[in-house]
Structure 1
């Protein structure tokens, strides 16, 4: 066995060296993975198919699968749902065995299928003419296990030198993939908790308290009505489901139309539409229109389950805001502050008093009144502002 091990090292040494020294400027693991597979072929390993499975921390996805096959220049990326472990595609699969503790899987795809493992994946690979399959865990820090697989269509499958060469890659591939997965994880977590634009700024180094920029933006503040009564009288899980459904109805149109949600505040949200983007104010009202339709649909579904309809109020203003880091020396919030934000908040509060779902300031209305039909409500005192404010309903 000594000779094959020495020979195997020569097969993959060039690829190992490239992973260590040639991927520093490559940001995405899927691109590295595809090029690695091509380089393995060029090194003499008869690779026909390979997959990399990584677990990620994402609100919508359990993980991702990168798949490369002979002739592909780029890896195919598939997201994996959180509930995949309950499905037949996972139960009994190599991923299932690996995440249950297996340290190596090898399947001879040329043998009688009745003698091998039973899973749709193995049938699929046999149908593709593959002859051999091997899978190993990929260990990241603190024992986190991911998965990499290799398959060939070479008659007789991989020989010992091929398998040893592939195994030789694992420690370096683990290091290279962990760096990229954690970079992506940091970006995902920031996008999830502070929004995509703020996340980009933070990753670019905007982490010092008090730093920020002045942005002219349309500001939207939305609040759910009678939430205290709902939370006092409904079961906890129902309250959480209700809030999630409500935030989906409001948030998805905002994101579609170029807005950025900066924070959820209990049962409310704060979003901005920077005026640096074309038609930002019109986009805000398009988002409000779609959110209103989504709330009507949500209330119709809730009515079918005996739940009371949800009511809400939205205040909209436009102006300059300070956009940046605010907080203590060790705990910061990336948000917007300024009189324009205060005005939007006051208008949201007035929606309940005036019986309107959406109130707009005159400053905002002037920017959209040619495109949208607005209802003039009148001039009203607004707490914290010396002069009455002219209001419009939408």
Structure 2
């Protein structure tokens, strides 16, 4: 068995064995790189490139370097028309469907700007191969070395056909990641994890103690009546652009978009005070962001703490992952009172208890559909 055949055989065996059970595409890249080095390949850089379905980014690039944590770079939608992608090696192999190899140390100009960057880091040889997928979304993998003599002919001859078995495992990991991204975008991170773990039956429900936030846009009906649906969607997205980052930066998770509103939770995880402070902080930041935009409708925010249940409801083959429960209803009733009291934020007594800085009590009311009375709290003069 020659070196080429041995390297290809062992790498293929690793892909069909350990590689299939890699946690994700990043772990696959790390494991394969380690296996190739163990086989004697002088590997100093390796990358994976994959198109994806995600509302914020179009491509995912993973970069492996010896002794360095693998980096994940997210490329935004529209990157195909930018110099970062257009005229790059990835675009070249995806478009042609053929491998591309270039010695980097022989002087003269190189075909692609990225190769100049790689040469400046001391790399001497570079190979990139397309990774075709059954879905039609072709990815790519590259390998580079800093060995003065570059890759040998046998090494290139082994790496090039490795694209075949690699593409099968890579597509599996890329599809798993794509599915997780799409689910998280539409139902939230924790619900996505639970769905992928098998929580897909109607009635599957999780209860969670959480600080809850409900933000709702003011004047949505009038806006919908006065302008086009496209304009309404654009305004809603700008409002959510102001609200959602404040929630996520504070450790919260958006569970549901409800028309012109957004429902978020901050898991108490044994520290309810921390969760309530985080929810209040995110509410303040969101209100400021909307106000500073200048041309956005005002929002009202309600805060409460209690038990939220979320899970699968529906009929037949059409289910929805939604949040329900008594405390969610309390939250909705309180938010509706923001407009009545002319307050941008209202919180229940359970939420406001012990907070610093303290919220200001403004009234005690009986919420529609509930017997007990609730004391409502608002922001102070600050």
Give TM-score, length-normalised by structure 2.
0.89
Measured after TM superposition, the shift of residue 268 of structure 1 is 0.6
Q: How does 1:75-154 map to 2 (within 5 A)?
A: 75-114=70-109, 116-117=110-111, 119-154=112-147
Match of 2:96, SS state, is: coil
Q: Using a 3 Å threshold, how does the CA distance of structure 1 residues 156 and 256 change in structure 2: closer, same or farther? A: closer
Measured after TM superposition, the shift of residue 156 of structure 1 is 5.4
Measured after TM superposition, the shift of residue 27 of structure 1 is 0.5
Q: How does 1:156-171 map to 2 (within 5 A)?
A: 157-171=150-164
| Greater displacement, 42-51 / 90-99 | 42-51
Preserved contact between residue 309 and residue 323 of structure 2 (Cα < 8 Å): yes
1-side partners of 2:75 and 2:86: how far apart?
Answer: 14
2:165 matched to 1:172?
yes
Residue number in structure 2 paired with 1:41: 37
1-side partners of 2:211 and 2:150: how far apart?
Answer: 62
Residue number in structure 1 paired with 2:266: 273
2:174 matched to 1:181?
yes
Match of 2:154, SS state, is: helix
Q: Using a 3 Å threshold, how does the CA distance of structure 1 residues 159 and 237 change in structure 2: closer, same or farther? A: same
Match of 1:113, SS state, is: coil
Give TM-score, length-normalised by structure 1.
0.86
Structure 2 unmatched ranges of 5 or more: none
Preserved contact between residue 287 and residue 299 of structure 2 (Cα < 8 Å): no
Rg bigger for which structure?
Answer: 1
Deviation per CA, 1:294-313: give whole Å up to 9, x if none: 122222xx3xxxxxx41122
Residue number in structure 1 paired with 2:249: 256
Q: Using a 3 Å threshold, how does the CA distance of structure 1 residues 183 and 229 change in structure 2: closer, same or farther? A: same
Structure 1 unmatched ranges of 5 or more: 303-308
Residue number in structure 2 paired with 1:385: 370
Residue number in structure 2 paired with 1:346: 333
The partner residue of 2:217 within 212, 219, 224 is 224
2-side partners of 1:362 and 1:125: how far apart?
Answer: 60
Residue number in structure 2 paired with 1:62: 58
1-side partners of 2:270 and 2:54: how far apart?
Answer: 28
1-side partners of 2:161 and 2:292: how far apart?
Answer: 56
Preserved contact between residue 19 and residue 32 of structure 2 (Cα < 8 Å): no
Match of 1:189, SS state, is: helix
Deviation per CA, 1:147-187: give whole Å up to 9, x if none: 11223344554343222200231122112212222222222
Deviation per CA, 1:72-107: give whole Å up to 9, x if none: 364333222223223323221111222333422232
2-side partners of 1:224 and 1:356: how far apart?
Answer: 13
Q: Using a 3 Å threshold, how does the CA distance of structure 1 residues 112 and 321 change in structure 2: closer, same or farther? A: closer
Preserved contact between residue 302 and residue 346 of structure 2 (Cα < 8 Å): yes
The partner residue of 1:283 within 274, 278, 281 is 278
Deviation per CA, 1:234-279: give whole Å up to 9, x if none: 4554433321221122122222223221110111111223333412
Match of 1:171, SS state, is: helix
Residue number in structure 2 paired with 1:376: 361
Preserved contact between residue 218 and residue 364 of structure 1 (Cα < 8 Å): yes
Deviation per CA, 1:285-340: give whole Å up to 9, x if none: 111111112122222xx3xxxxxx41122223333333322222322222321222
Q: Using a 3 Å threshold, how does the CA distance of structure 1 residues 129 and 386 change in structure 2: closer, same or farther? A: closer
Q: Using a 3 Å threshold, how does the CA distance of structure 1 residues 152 and 256 change in structure 2: closer, same or farther? A: closer
Size of the aligned set, in residue pairs, is 377
Residue number in structure 2 paired with 1:17: 13
